Amino acid sequence: MDSMTFVLFGGTGDLAKRKIYPALYNLFIEQKMPSSFSIIGLGRRGMSHNDFQESVEESIKEFSRGETTNSFKMVEFIESIRYVQFDATNKEDYKKLLKFVGQREQELNIPENRMFYLSVAPEFFDMIALNIKESGLGSTKGWKRMIIEKPFGHDLISARELNEKLSKAFEEEEIYRIDHYLGKPMVQNLGSLAFTNPILQALWNNKYIANIQITASEIVGVEERAGYYDHTGAIKDMFQNHMLQMLMMTAMHLPKEISAKEVANEKTKVMEALRPLQIEDVATHVIRGQYGPGVLNGENVVGYLHEPGIEETSKNDTFIAARLWIDDDFWYGVPFYIRTGKRMKEKSTRIVVEFKNPLKELYGDQIEDTLPNLLVIEINPNEGMSYVLNSRNPANGKTESIKVDYANDNKDVPEAYELLIHDALRGDSTFFAHWKEVELSWEYVQPILDAFKEQLLPLHSYPSGSYGPEAAHSLLREDGFKWWLDE
């Protein structure tokens, strides 16, 4: 892997402490970092290199999944870190940074490969990218790449504007848009399941599949993020990005070859085949909810409107369920149901594939009433897979459903951020969101946002600790289905 400089904008922020430094450290101890590298954290405060290094060490000790007791390794890693006081709005600071980066490159005798990681508020994305270009930071003899956090725009127009601006400073191949769901090992595994299992590949279409359900439920509420969340809601916080990315990963067809370009192509095709929603149809296919008070893990919790920082009149959504259709030869007629919400009964990200029962059509009442076959892919917090089949119980002669189960109990799996940063360092963008996918996601979501704005659909209340509003259950019942695994 190429030696490089990792420049972290937002180097004293929460994400940097919790995720980015621990991820870099774990990559380092697993020998997945280049042989020579320099990490430069940027922040507004004045701080010495030493103080900064100490604070990074503390974050690693607190948040790293791996062992942090090897003091020799820790010293070696920490020694690669420097701090630069930096104001993203001040052009002079970019010049100062360029000088510093250049000095470090010379000291370490490493080529001008520069990774810029933007872990800052979204309003700074375009300004930073432009200044990287104008200051000369981006004019390297080696490669330059930019990792950028979500949200990528807040609607279709703003996302397009942002992309337009970023593309003046970076080529699309140089932009790595993080969607941390694409870093979850089981989401990454979705592709491999189809690539490596002919048994699944053969069934992965509308002849055998009745519907697919993608759930990401959370126990946590808005936490301390009222300022961000109250104008974002579940639709922009989760649905537009994570949920649609999981949909693409589930529904994409085998690419010609396994490369970032071909995978992106196949994902784009899924989005292009997605039946667009007209604003007047949104209410038929989308359910919007907001959590009320309730009981979670035996404790009373307040409703959304009584959370700190939330206006009592807020009409923000904390829950979304939707029915989507992919109008291509493989998926025509198969509903995809997506739901995500906060303050739900359990933390679970999972995909349930419900199969049709052609035998039932053939034999009708001659066969007992059996459950449909289900393939359950558990993404988070448990990782695993199970297949629900029917089998005759020799004890009583009855047909019963049985579960063939696989649970990954190896707790030593890399974190999403480790996998993604490692890929970006290697120049592999397979598990990042490419512009076309992001644009098509916003195109799909825009009529939903418009319908919300014009109040064309109700905002259902659901008790904290439940599986969401009743309307989300009716959505499936209308089609003769139900959400599986809700207790």
Q: How far is the CB of 380 from ligand BG6 (least distance, A)?
A: 5
Among 349, 373, 464, 466, binds ligand BG6 (CB under 6 A): 349
Distance, C-alpha 326 to centroid of its chain: 21
Instruction: Return d(Cα 252, Cα 152) in angstroms, integer.
Output: 22
Q: How far is the CB of 301 from ligand BG6 (least distance, A)?
A: 16
Report the residue number, 242 or 422, with the smaller CB distance to ligand BG6: 242
Distance, C-alpha 124 to centroid of its chain: 21
Check the CA dihedral 241-312-347-20 and report its sign: positive
Instruction: Return d(Cα 450, Cα 432) in angstroms, integer.
Output: 27
- The reply, when asked if residue 347 is annotated as ligand binding, is yes
Binding of residue 316 to ligand BG6 (CB under 6 A): no
Q: How far is the CB of 231 from ligand BG6 (least distance, A)?
A: 13
Scan residues 162-191 and list those touching ligand BG6 (CB under 6 A): none
Report the residue number, 237 or 423, with the smaller CB distance to ligand BG6: 237
Give, for 287, the enclosing helix (H) or strand (E).
Answer: strand 286-296
- The reply, when asked if residue 17 is annotated as ligand binding, is yes
- The reply, when asked if residue 14 is annotated as ligand binding, is yes
Report the residue number, 268 or 348, with the smaller CB distance to ligand BG6: 348
Binding of residue 415 to ligand BG6 (CB under 6 A): no
User: Which residues contact residue 395 at a Cβ distance below 8 angstroms, ignoring those fewer than 6 apart?
Assistant: none
* Gyration radius from the chain CA atoms: 24
Give the residue at shortest CB distance from ligand BG6: 237
How many residues at the interface with ligand BG6, by CB under 6 A?
5
User: Which residues contact residue 77 at a Cβ distance below 8 angstroms, ignoring those fewer than 6 apart?
Assistant: 24, 25, 28, 29, 60
To the query of whether residue 460 is one of the catalytic residues in this protein, the response is no
Catalytic residue among 242, 285, 422, 460: 242
Among 319, 290, 326, 331, smallest CA distance to 307 is for 290
Among 16, 71, 75, smallest CA distance to 40 is for 16
Residue 409 CB neighbour total at 10 angstroms: 8
Q: How far is the CB of 352 from ligand BG6 (least distance, A)?
A: 17
Site string for ligand BG6, 354-393 (x = CB under 6 A): --------------------------x-------------
Scan residues 209-228 and list those touching ligand BG6 (CB under 6 A): 216, 218
Residue 487 CB neighbour total at 10 angstroms: 5
Residue 315 CB neighbour total at 10 angstroms: 14
- The reply, when asked if residue 96 is annotated as ligand binding, is no
Three-state SS at 358: helix
- The reply, when asked if residue 16 is annotated as ligand binding, is yes
- CA-to-CA separations, 410 to 13, 32, 382, 383, 413, in angstroms, rounded: 30, 20, 10, 9, 7
Beta strands at 209-217 and 335-341: parallel, antiparallel or unpaired: parallel
Binding of residue 57 to ligand BG6 (CB under 6 A): no
Q: How far is the CB of 9 from ligand BG6 (least distance, A)?
A: 19
Q: How far is the CB of 422 from ligand BG6 (least distance, A)?
A: 18
Instruction: Return d(Cα 130, Cα 132) in angstroms, integer.
Output: 5
Report the residue number, 80 or 349, with the smaller CB distance to ligand BG6: 349
Binding of residue 237 to ligand BG6 (CB under 6 A): yes
Report the residue number, 51 or 223, with the smaller CB distance to ligand BG6: 223
Residues classed as catalytic: 242
Binding-site residue numbers are 10-17, 44, 150, 180, 184, 218, 237, 342, 347
Instruction: List interacting residues with ligand BG6 (CB under 6 A).
Output: 216, 218, 237, 349, 380
